[in-house]
């Protein structure tokens, strides 16, 4: 009888704890305002030029300049030799020091493509791009291009997907499935892994063993670069970019399985980079940001993770790596989320949904 009573007490306590946590999530979502700023066609990447202007790519091949105050949209012509194929097209875009950097699916002929990075002097009428990186070899596949760009000091980091080729991510003589690091002029840093003991690695490769890395960001706090990776059937993760290391795809499955249901490999094992946080089942992670701003100042230093299939924004407090705290900020508000940008001045948050640009702010 005593055991019965104790069980009921524990059960009731668990129920009330669930209600408490549920109410916190609901009340937080209800304190947020969502506004659709403009309509777009399958946007992919975005970058602030200043406090009122934003560059945006559409996967189908358009580059647009958005004035957030007037809502004016200008299309910028460009000379990129791109191919919209499957998951590929125009991807990430980054404005820095009056230059525009872009990752895109380059048409290499006969349906072969590569994740390529190009650079152009900013011009609001036409962008004359030239390549500073091409992933080799070109591959006939419409899957897993990556790809995000980050600039830290004079170094450009970019994520390159493994093009649905699995173990190619373990071959450092090929770019797919890696993080690459070059100088912003396209030259190769002399302290990349190839020149520090990994002679079989291509000179641009900084880290290997990655599947489909659609999030990459520079933390304004610790100046480290963090990434998110879209797993298979489960096995999404958030982790740190680490020089010369290996995240293990497709030896590791990170907790997920193949789409057939067959196992891939262990979640992690010694000798491989361990992610900070994993999601199983998959939420289809996309872009990430380490928040710094005024609008949500209690989030400063936390990671914001957007998702496609799950249509959610997740917040991770990873100050203590042994006790990472995850919170769902919202779900099913704006559809699939491709990109996230924090306003450089006021800290309000802008998202690229499947059909437009959205603003999230406190009510």
Q: Could you report the per-residue pLDDT of 133-165, keeping only the tens digit for each?
A: 999 999 999 999 999 999 999 999 999 999 999
Do 246 and 266 meet the contact criterion of CB atoms below 8 Å apart? no
Supply angle C-alpha 215, 218, 223, rounded to 5.
Answer: 150
Do 156 and 101 meet the contact criterion of CB atoms below 8 Å apart? yes
Give the per-residue pLDDT at 250.
97
Query: What average pLDDT score do residues 237-266 get?
Result: 95
pTM of this structure: 0.91
Share of the chain above pLDDT 90, in %: 90
Question: What is the rounded CA–CA span in Å between residue 56 and residue 75?
Answer: 10
In degrees rounded to 5, what are phi and psi of residue 106? -85, 135
Query: What average pLDDT score do residues 284-307 get?
Result: 97
The structure tokens 């055991």 sit at: 3
Find out if CATH 3.40.50.970 is the number for domain 37-362. no
Residue 170 has pLDDT above 90, yes or no: yes
Of 217, 361, 344, give the one whose Cα is nearest residue 289: 217
Do 224 and 249 meet the contact criterion of CB atoms below 8 Å apart? no
* 357 beta partners: 38, 352
Q: What tokens does 353 get?
A: 């949904």
Dihedral sign of CA atoms 330, 331, 333, 338 in order: positive
Element (H, E) at 317: strand 312-317
Share of the chain above pLDDT 70, in %: 92
Of 187, 232, 193, 191, give the one whose Cα is nearest residue 211: 232
Question: What is the rounded CA–CA span in Å between residue 304 and residue 228?
Answer: 10
Question: In this predicted model, what pLDDT tens digit does every residue of 60-113 receive, in sequence order?
Answer: 999 999 999 999 999 999 999 999 999 999 999 999 999 999 999 999 999 999
């Amino acid at each position: 009888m005593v055991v019965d009573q104790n069980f009921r007490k524990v059960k009731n306590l668990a129920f009330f704890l669930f209600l408490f946590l549920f109410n916190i999530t609901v009340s937080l979502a209800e304190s947020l305002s969502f506004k659709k700023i403009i309509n777009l066609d399958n946007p992919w990447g975005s970058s602030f030029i200043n406090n009122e202007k934003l560059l945006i790519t559409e996967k189908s091949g358009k580059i647009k300049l958005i004035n957030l105050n007037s809502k004016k949209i200008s299309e910028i012509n460009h000379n990129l030799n791109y191919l919209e194929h499957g998951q590929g097209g125009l991807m990430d875009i980054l404005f820095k020091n009056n230059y525009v950097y872009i990752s895109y699916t380059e048409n290499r002929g006969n349906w072969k493509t590569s994740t390529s990075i190009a650079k152009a002097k900013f011009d609001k009428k036409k962008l004359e791009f030239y390549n500073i990186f091409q992933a080799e070899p070109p591959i006939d596949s419409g899957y897993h291009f990556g790809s995000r760009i980050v600039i830290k000091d004079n170094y450009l980091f970019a994520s390159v997907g493994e093009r649905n080729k699995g173990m190619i991510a373990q071959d450092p003589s090929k770019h797919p499935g890696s993080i690459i690091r070059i100088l912003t002029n396209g030259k190769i840093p002399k302290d990349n892994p190839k020149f520090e003991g990994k002679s079989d690695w291509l000179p641009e490769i900084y880290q290997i063993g990655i599947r489909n890395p659609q999030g990459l960001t520079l933390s304004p706090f610790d100046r480290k670069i963090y990434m998110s990776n879209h797993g298979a059937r489960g096995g999404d993760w958030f982790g740190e970019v680490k020089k010369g290391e290996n995240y293990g795809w497709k030896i590791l499955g990170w907790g997920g399985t193949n789409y057939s249901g067959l196992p891939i490999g262990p979640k992690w094992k010694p000798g491989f980079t361990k992610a900070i946080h994993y999601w199983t089942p998959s939420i289809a992670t996309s872009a990430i940001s380490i928040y710094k701003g005024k609008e949500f100042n209690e989030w400063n230093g936390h990671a914001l993770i957007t998702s496609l299939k799950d249509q959610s924004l997740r917040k991770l407090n990873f100050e203590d790596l042994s006790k990472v705290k995850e919170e769902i900020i919202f779900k099913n508000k704006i559809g699939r989320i491709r990109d996230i940008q924090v306003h450089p001045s006021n800290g309000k948050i802008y998202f690229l949904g499947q059909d437009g640009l959205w603003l999230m702010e406190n009510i």
